[in-house]
Amino acid sequence: MADRKPNKKSNNSKDRRKSNNSGDEDFNPKFRKVRKKVCLLCSNKDLVLDYKNAEQLKKFINEKGKILPRRATGACAKHQRDITNTIKRARHIAILPYTQG
Ligand SMILES: [Zn+2]
């Protein structure tokens, strides 16, 4: 009797937010607003990479001793290249480890 149509309920919840709480990474999907990441070395002209300065270079490697990618360091292409070269130079003279842990 009750000839009811299946009413179209559009239940597509757009914001199915995955709660990936890996607070390790620098980017957070909550912050959709494009926060312009400026290159550390471009913004600070006084900062000069030094392969003998391990403390400075430790900012660009993770705990395993790997070189961080650009999305983590925020460096521009030119400076990421410089960072990579400097870290490799530092590794060669055993200031930084190749691997750790
Ligand atoms: Zn730069």
* CATH code of the domain in which 80 resides: 4.10.640.10
pLDDT digit string, tens, across residues 49-89:
999 999 999 999 999 999 999 999 999 999 999 999 999 99
Residue 88 resides in a domain: yes
Domains: count for the chain:
1
CA angle, 71 as apex, 98 and 55 as ends, to 5°?
Answer: 45
Whole-Å CA distances, 7 to 3, 10, 11, 70, 100: 12, 9, 11, 49, 60
Residue 48 resides in a domain: yes
Task: Give me the pLDDT at residue 13, please.
Answer: 47
Non-local (6+) Cβ contacts of 66 within 8 A are none
Tell me if the pTM is above 0.85.
no
Residue 24 resides in a domain: no
Task: Compute the distance from residue 45 Cα to the ligand 1 centre, in Å.
Answer: 9
Residue 66 resides in a domain: yes
Task: Compute the distance from residue 86 Cα to the ligand 1 centre, in Å.
Answer: 14
Residue 46 resides in a domain: yes
Residue 29 resides in a domain: no
Note down the domain range covering 50. 40-92
pLDDT digit string, tens, across residues 88-98:
999 999 999 99
Q: Is the pLDDT of residue 29 over 70?
A: no
Task: Give me the pLDDT at residue 50, please.
Answer: 95
Residue 49 resides in a domain: yes
